[in-house]
Structure 1
Amino acid sequence: MQKDLTIKEIVEFMTLDLTDNQKFKRNVAFYIVSNANILRPHFEAFESQRKSMLEKYGRAGENGDIIIPQENVKSFTEEMKQLLDSKVTVTLSTIQLDDLPEEMDISTMRKLMLMIGK
């Protein structure tokens, strides 16, 4: 299914924490991995942009962490929002709601919503 996704949706999906003890039907697990492979280049491009923005607006703190100085927070936040709101069109494998486990935490369900077919 062809879908328009925001970079934010892709980041949420790619940061999905699926532990080994979480059980999915074989086809669902396959489609999660398959879709992750499709979305990975977009996620990696986001990470590259995010790092560039941190270098552009931030400076190294005492512990080596990047700190955004107060005078750059607004510009950084606006640019990050623009990046996260940008859209890409991708073709994903979809599943049916009935394919998912009966019990699932809300965070996981929210991240998998982009895979559920209508």
Structure 2
Amino acid sequence: MSSHPSVLPDPHFFVAQPLFLNLVVNALKYGRSAPLRIHVYAKKKDAEWMIAVEDNGQGFEPKLGDQIFEPFQRLHGNEYSGSGIGLATCKGIVERYGGKIWAESKPGVGSTFYFTLPGITE
């Protein structure tokens, strides 16, 4: 038996790929020049999986944690490339599968983006 998370099967589950891609690309984009650290991990809790993408990047003010998941909300203006829809897309994907998404951050230390997905009961 694999220790990797399993989620409820869905014929359109491949759309979750942009979720992981966006969170890792954001960690790279807003990461420090050296040494960059990105840690992805999963933890089963009751009937769901909690997955996290943690980085040691520049972080953001915790009070902005909800705002960053809204479409076209950019914390850094035009300082970095992007459209401001990446995290909003992540939120839509997670909610489509019945999960939740949130972030914890500390400026100058880094951020951790968490999301939950329903797991397969065995």
Fold match by TM threshold 0.5 = no
The structure with higher relative contact order (CA 8 Å, sep 6+) is 1
* CA radius of gyration, larger in: 1
TM-score by length of 1: 0.30
More helix by share: 1
TM-score by length of 2: 0.29
